[in-house]
A = this chain, B = another copy of it.
Amino acid sequence: LDYQHVQVPFEITLWIMLASLAKIGFHLYNKLPSVVPESCLLIFVGLIMGGIIYGLNDRSPPVMDSDIFFLYLLPPIVLDAGYFMPSRPFFENIGTILLYAVVGTIWNVFGIGFSLYGICQVKAFRLQDVSLLHNLLFGSLIAAVDPVAVLAVFEEIHVNEKLHILVFGESLLNDAVTVVLYKLFRSFCEMPTIKSVDVFAGVGKFFVVGLGGVLVGLSFGFTAAFTTRFTKDIRVIEPLFVFLYSYLSYLTAEMFHLSGIVAIISCAMGMKRYVEANISLKSHTTVKYFMKMWSSVSDTLIFIFLGVSTIGENHEWNWPYICFTVIFCLIWRALGVLVLTFFVNRFHVNTITSKDQFIIAYGGLRGAICFSLVFLLPDFHRKKLFIAATTVVILFTVFVQGMTIRPLVDLLAVKRKRESAPTVGEQIHIRFLDHLLAGIEDISGHWGQYYWKDKLEYFNSKYLQKILLREYDQPKSSIVLLYEKLERKHAIELAQAGQLGHGPAQPSFLCSAFLCSSSDRTVITDQKLEDTPNPDVLDNMQEILARNLYRIRRTGPAYNRHTLPGDSEPAEHAKEILILRHKSL
């Protein structure tokens, strides 16, 4: 027996196996995941594992290594989040998201830090040795909402798209602020005196860290898109580039002390549309599926490790400090959301309702990022207190808030996500309104988001697409893509039901005519919709369609980590439809 030799890969594989088997176990009992969020169950499994290790070895189980977390576990989740980010709601609400992420986080950091410093002045609590700087440092790590925890809970409660993107976008973008404040306060703690110039340098750093991350991410993203132009003869390694370049963007950003999360998200969002057009359909399936798989495993491992790391003797239990931390986290977040939303609502017609505000405040879950940051703190005599407080805040938010948010959403009747995809008619109207609004903004001289979106789209089709796409000829209408997807699905269903015609069949003329008109931007009004259309017109239309329908891409990002687009509709349901259709025919 030579265990030493294979120990590292063997143990890693076993941990992943445990995580995957735990996931299967939860899903075998359908009732459990519908009541308790999966993250809670996984932490619970971790607690049991930690207890077993603690009982067997009689010493604290190993703590999740911060390096492992930041270098290996976090990137897949953020990549997945960025790649499948619904870009329309994200960019429509980017102002609000940034406000919450930057101003909101700063508000929380200083609010929590100063109020905890106030608590430390109460003599009865015996906390007078915790300085203001240490409290602020603690505030900077405990204030940030965690994307992993937010994703895990919000994916299961299906709130409306805007609410989802507000909370989730904030949790992603606050990384830049957290990185800056955390490093600033940590370096202040080690400095003998703090000059005012240091404080100003800190403020300047916000922009460097955030915008630097975006720049690094976009440059890697465009390089990835450019690289996939040349993979036509070697399809097998196409998916690799998506992963390699995004990971490199993350590592490069981390290397230069920029925000890795912001970088990888910019990279993923920047490359997506070009990469998807360049790579083959099967490569695309692999990228999507593998990304989902990987982020799901990472996520599972993080929560299990969180549970395992909780067990042990790393904690100093000072109840007043810990309880007040939880209370201040809740209060300052609620206040922050109220105040910021007040300003946001003054400038928007589509306001954030008070119900939404409550869910935004209540959905501010903390998670593994705080946990890893607190272990990265330099050693000082109250570190164990901070660890204990962080652990309690995480467990409180994940268990109490995570488990009650679903009933609360039901109780308050918060607007839910619409289940069905937008119809072709809706898509046409949205597209039409976009163009209309861009025109109105241009005429009125108000350079709003529609104007910029139009300019960006122009720049994209004029320059970027020519450089980054392999087969650039003309922009394909998303409606044509949708039609083609529906047609393909229909064909497969017919084939499965054994009703595929082998002779020439009449193409649906109404549909073809409609599509021609919408893709050519000319409205056919005097076309008579007869049963036997003019063969020339038909040929012409079919040629356009055949050209347009040739390459197959999915539209409409799906937004749940645990299911893939095709899977959402259960097999039974599809079977039923088939049988019904079969009978009707």
Contacts and interface: CB of A to CB of B under 8 A. Distances in A.
Given A13-B248, A236-B292, A498-B512, 6 more contacts: A5-B67, A236-B563, A282-B566, A491-B491, A492-B492, A503-B505
A382 B376 CA distance: 49
Interface in A46-82: 67, 71-72
A201 interface: no
Interface string A228-256: 00110111110111001001100110111
Interface stretch (A23-31, A134-142, A457-465): A23-31
Q: Which of A257, A283, A290, A563 has most chain B Cβ within 10 Å?
A: A290
Interface in A460-514: 484, 487-488, 490-492, 494-508, 512
Contact of A567 (B280, B285, B500, B575): B280
Contact of A24 (B230, B282, B292): B230
A564 B282 contact: yes
Interface stretch (A154-162, A166-174, A406-414, A541-549): A541-549
B297 A293 contact: no
A28 B484 contact: no
A188 to B, nearest CB: 19
Interface in A1-33: 1-3, 5-6, 9-10, 13-14, 16-17, 20-21, 23-24, 27-28, 30
A259 to B, nearest CB: 14
Contacts of A484: 495-496
A20 B228 CA distance: 11
Contacts of A562: 234, 236
26 contacts: A5-B67, A9-B247, A10-B255, A13-B247, A13-B248, A16-B244, A20-B237, A20-B240, A20-B241, A24-B227, A24-B234, A236-B296, A236-B561, A236-B562, A237-B293, A239-B293, A240-B293, A282-B567, A285-B286, A491-B492, A491-B494, A494-B500, A498-B546, A499-B504, A502-B508, A504-B585
A396 interface: no
A184 interface: no
Given A1-B255, A2-B255, A550 B575 contact: yes
A582 B542 contact: yes
Nearest to A14: B248
Contacts of A578: 546
A319 interface: no
A298 to B, nearest CB: 11
A342 interface: no
A289 interface: yes
Contact of A500 (B230, B241, B251, B507): B507
Q: How many copies does the complex hold?
A: 2
Contacts of A17: 244, 248
Contact of A549 (B290, B498, B512): B498
Nearest to A504: B585
Contact of A251 (B13, B16, B28, B235): B13
A542 to B, nearest CB: 5
A546 B580 CA distance: 13
B564 A495 contact: no
Interface in A280-311: 280, 282-283, 285-286, 289-290, 292-293, 296-297
A408 to B, nearest CB: 26
Given A546-B578, A550-B496, A293 B251 contact: no
Contacts of A20: 237, 240-241, 244
